[in-house]
Amino acid sequence: MSTIPTISFAKVAAPKKYAHVVLCPAGEKPSALVPLADPENVLDGAAATARFTGKSKSKLDVLAPAGTNATRLVAIGLGETEKLKLTDWMALGGVTFATVASETQVAVYFDGDADAAAAFAQGYLLRSYKFDKYKTKKADDEDKSDKPHKLVIMLDEVTAARRIWTACKASAEGTILARDLVNEPANVLTPVEFAKRAASLSKLGVEIQTLTEKEMKKLKMDALLGVAQGSRNPPRMVVMKWKGGKAKDKPLAFVGKGVTFDTGGISIKPSGGMEDMKGDMGGAAAVTGLMHTLAARKAKVNAIGIIGLVENMPDGNAQRPGDIVKSMSGQTIEIINTDAEGRLVLCDALWYCKEKFKPQIMINLATLTGAVLVALGQQHAGLFSNNDELSANLTEAGLASGEKVWRLPLAKEYDKMIDSKFADMKNTGGRFAGSITAAQFLARYVGDTPWAHLDIAGTALGSPQTDINTSWSAGYGVSLLNQLVADTYEK
């Protein structure tokens, strides 16, 4: 297993045997910033030779420099520093980790404020993540000793940086938990195993309640159970409660699709790429990661996380196209396509959430439709909402966190597309507007609750490789929702 770096902050350290990193604004000489580590001005000479100018994310890497006790002297270009946003500082942290990954002790000379330093550290930590638990052999350039990797960031505002880092670290840990869950294969991460991992949040003070198949049957969650009935692995629903606010405050609710594997069921998917469907629980992973983050940083809100955990398999007991099921709400659904299973899981989870907890807002996350990839690719999640204010807050949180969303419409003309000949609705709306008709389906289960649906099929798995993520799963959604909670509900 790869170990996660230990990160600390100090005013000055005069560390020996460290890799020294200078963050260098465009046009400045790197040496001015590392008097301790580089008495011989090795970096300036190297900068001239390599034509290093401090351009954003450029690197200068001097190995085992003579005349110093540093293992390495590194300069990372910052570009124009007044333009740097916190997401840029995160990226710079990621670029820095990538450069010094093989080191065990790293010192960064940080000439910026505490917010920037904490964001830098968050990016550093996120970039260090690797999902390699199933690799029994290490590559030649990997550290075989598993020595811990230590980073010390030297700056003026140490106290503030430490305080802000507590919150940023909690966010990174939640993202990493979500990545682990999404990357995990479906033979390991069954609904029962997922529920166990979610239950371990009790160590942070999260209250956990796990509903079994029998209990869900009693609650009449037959839409969710209809999906589960084709699998040998029994379903679960986990309710996580974080009580960090006042007793009278209505909770914020987060609901996640947790299909631990989606074969499509009887409407079976083509085999090419089907292995990706181990990630069809990305919504549930984001909700679990978020609850971890809120508890770890002791967020001053009341929050509920609900995850619907099922496996969608085709066996002799699987549901068929044409079947009609009654959801917990009492509304009936004609199953047209058993591969449109996510909405069947969510409709019971959303209804249960709304009825039981009367939340002030309800946000669900789901790897719901391939169509959202066609519309938005992997750069934005699809956002659907019945509330302009919530929608605007989510959009802003997306820009601030770097986990972006883009709003798509809901309208009664689209809603009509899921009316059924035989039941109150059908579970698919035909070839056109697939992400919208899926959202219209969910909208029938939220009443007047201010609600938002995030279709994260494009962002939660098979994620683009970035400065802060080189894993298959980016852990999308944790940072976004943590930002929303902090900026909108804790101010």
Using the structure block, give the residue that is written with the tokens 């058993």.
338
Answer with the entry of ligand BES, Zn ion, Mn ion, none that 35 interacts with (C-beta below 5 to 8 A by kind).
none
The yes or no reply on residue 258 touching ligand BES (CB under 6 A) is: no
Where helices occur in 360-433 by DSSP H, the ranges are: 371-376, 388-401, 412-416
Q: Which residue is catalytic, options 55, 269, 300, 326?
A: 269
- Position 342 contacts ligand BES (CB under 6 A): yes
Quote the least distance from Cβ 459 to ligand BES, whole Å.
Answer: 10
Residue 88 makes contact with ligand BES by CB under 6 A: no
- Could you tell me the two tokens for 35? 């008097």
CB contact at 8 A, 13 and 152: yes
Measured distance CA(170)–CA(416) in Å, rounded = 43
Closest CA to 325 of 421, 419, 223: 223
Q: Where are the beta strands (DSSP E) in 144-298?
A: 150-154, 207-211, 236-243, 252-262
Question: Is residue 262 near Mn ion by the rule CB under 5 A?
Answer: yes
Distance of CA 76 to the CA centre of its chain: 27
Active site residue 297: no
* Single residue of 38, 173, 280, 455 touching Zn ion by CB under 5 A: 280
* Cα-based distances in Å from 181 to 285, 292, 306: 6, 13, 16
Please list the residues that pair with 381 across neighbouring strands: 405
Closest contact distance (angstroms) between CB of 263 and ligand BES is 10
Helix, strand, or coil here: 338?
A: coil
Amino acid letter at 257?
K
Residues 323-362 touching Mn ion, rule: CB under 5 A, are 339, 341
Does position 425 interact with ligand BES (CB under 6 A)? The reply is: no
Site string for Zn ion, 245-264 (x = CB under 5 A): --------------x--x--
Q: Does 369 bind ligand BES (CB under 6 A)?
A: yes
CB nearer to Mn ion: pick between 196 and 269:
269
Of 40-48, 49-57, 303-311, 366-374, which part binds ligand BES (CB under 6 A)?
366-374
Q: Is 72 in the active site?
A: no
Q: Number of helices and strands (H, E) in the chain?
A: 14, 17
Q: Which stretch binds Mn ion (CB under 5 A): 51-59, 71-79, 171-179, 261-269?
A: 261-269
Distances, alpha carbon 289 to alpha carbons 109, 147, 363, 417, 421, in Å: 31, 27, 15, 35, 40
Report how far residue 476's alpha carbon sits from residue 65's, in angstroms, rounded to the nearest whole number: 40
Nearer to Mn ion among residue 184 and residue 341 (C-beta) = 341
**CB nearer Mn ion, residue 168 or residue 371:** 371
Work out which of 41, 337, 387, 391 binds ligand BES, going by CB under 6 A: 337
Residues annotated as part of the active site: 269, 343
* Positions that interact with Zn ion (CB under 5 A): 259, 262, 280, 342
* Positions that interact with Mn ion (CB under 5 A): 262, 339, 341
* Positions that interact with ligand BES (CB under 6 A): 262, 280, 337, 339-342, 367, 369-371, 428, 434, 457
